[in-house]
Structure 1
Amino acid sequence: MNNLDFKQLDKIVKNTLLAVEQSKTQIFEIYEAARAEMERVNKDVERIKQEAIDIIFHVDDLEKKERRARLRLMEVSRNFNVYSEDDIKHCYDEAKNLQVSLAVAREQEQSYRRQRDELEVRLKQLKDTVEKAEGLVSQVGVVLGYLGNEMNGVVNKIESLQQSQLFGAKIIKAQEEERRRVAREIHDGPAQLMANVVFRAEVCERLIDIDINRAKQELKDLRGQVRDCLKETRKIIFDLRPMTLDDLGLVPTVKRFLDTFKGRCGAIAEIRILGDEQRLDSYVEVGLFRIIQEALNNVEKHANATLVKVVLEFRDDFVQAVIEDNGKGFDTSENVDSASFGLLGMRERINLLQGQVDIISEIGKGSKVCIKVPINKPVLS
């Protein structure tokens, strides 16, 4: 998986989470609107119910008045010789007006009943909508939390896998570069010297019977070349795997490497041992030495330092190493691991040792690498 694929996947995940979050917001807005509408409709229902009750009482009152008015009109009509024409007309108008008012009131009562029934149906629908929206908001919140955690986990795993693949590729590249370096050193050093030794041996073989003194001088020079060849070979072996690490331990190996380091870069190199020096498990000594070696190589390549201090501290449950220089430093806020196989390799080694490494640096003020590794803990596989 390349960087572009990872960026696209990360974008898809973020867009998915954003869409779910927006959906949650929209559902919540629907819930709030439905709840506000439900409260309004509930108030209308209560109002209509009260108005319906009032109109029912009003209809009952009008019915009683209209019944009395009809009875009065019947009485007046039967005794028209007793009542005047105005009395009869008044009774008739009163009864007619009451009948009209009663019809209007009954129509209003029916209208209020219909409105009440419709509002109660509407209120029930709104209650269902509010309950569903509330449930959806809760469910989407749970889903969003789950997706957020799971998606972030997936992204982190993919990112970790990508970093592992990049690290694996860099390891292969570093191995090939190391092979080329060793091959070049052997070719330019021991191989050339051995070829010269073969040539000098042939010269000595011819001179023995001709000029014994010159033959002795050639053998003396030959012995010096063999020593140089042995020295070059031992240097290559030390770089690949210091024999002193197995024979003498971490401290003598670091001291010897510092001597070589001083000869190469010309800086003053000091080492200080705190606590009781002790032999560690082989994998711990190898891992610590490689981390210290890489830190010093970084100082040599990039720091332009004139003074380097190495402190090794031995405790009962851990060993600590501090490599400090007075070089040009760098900005630790930048992602230096992605560009530096050395720093990435240091972190990978420290993870295998279940330890920790802190890199403190500031431009113009040098750098400090603090390494802490627990003792007597099994190495991670």
Structure 2
Amino acid sequence: MTSDDILEKLDEALSGYQEDLDRTRRELSEVETLVRQSNSEVEKLTQRELTVSNRVRDLEVNIERYSKDEIKNFYTTAQEVQMRLQIMRGQLDQVQMRRDVLRNRQGQLAQLVGLLGDLADLLRNAGKPEANAGSEMDTETMVANIIQSQESERLRISLQMHDGPAQSMSNLVLRAEICQRLVDHDIDQARAELNSLKTAINATLQDTRKFIFDLRPMTLDDLGLVPTLRRYANQFNEKGAVEINLMIQNLEQRLPGHYEVTIFRFIQEALNNVVKHSGANQARVMLDVSGNTLQILVEDDGSGFHVSDTLENASARRNMGIASMRQQIEVLLRGEFGIESAIGRGTRVAATIPLP
């Protein structure tokens, strides 16, 4: 395959992703308008509920002043307002989740469009194919590695969706069917089951929001890498499974967007491996900028493993994680990646990244 063929494929991919990015931006704009409208409606209903509640309290204190019809109308109105408010709050939660998903996708597409554009420019400036055979091969390999990295990330997300939100949603559907059957036979039991279902829905909503944060934290765009890592480490420490000690030195400035996303993904994958495979009690994450180089270190006190045996097993999930981390550092950021481990001596993952 010649450099012209590679460039043509890059341009086709870039055009397709740019169209997808434009569509996502338009849809995000529409959803954000819907969020604002829903927020406004919820605020109006909340104010109306407060007014109606005050009238109901006055009725209860001075019930002798009101006729039966007035009492009935007050309670009917209060129930209708409360029901409408609950429905609108549920709709608001849904559109907010949709907005967060679209924001994540927009960020990912923007990163991919930028990366493909840089690769296309690099290839255009590389000169004649005959004089740059080695460069041509390097570019082709880079494109293949980027595509493989994308597919690995999609596989990781699909597994997480299957094991997390999809399972929870399936359970919620079954419980809703139970509530539906109980309504005709035991209304008190149906109410109790509905309260339990509401609690389960709230828990699933929180898990889904956490999944969205793991997919692409909004704080990455708003505040940057360092605050996002601190929040991520705090989440680990709140769970109590593994204690994370985060140390960041000489990294006061913001980095380009694709650097911050890739570095966060790298540390996220490393910590996920610690939790899933190491059996560690503690892990240390260190970032240190020296000159124009960022050093990253993630080490744990877990059980360790044979690195060579794991890398030879191409289907192992841990191997997939290591391959993803290597591609993130070596392919996307042009850095160096290394991993050391031994049985009973924990694991040490290191990366050296040249900063722009």
Higher normalized contact order (CA 8 Å, seq sep 6+, divided by chain length)? 2
TM-score normalised to structure 1 length: 0.45
For normalisation by structure 2, the TM-score amounts to: 0.48
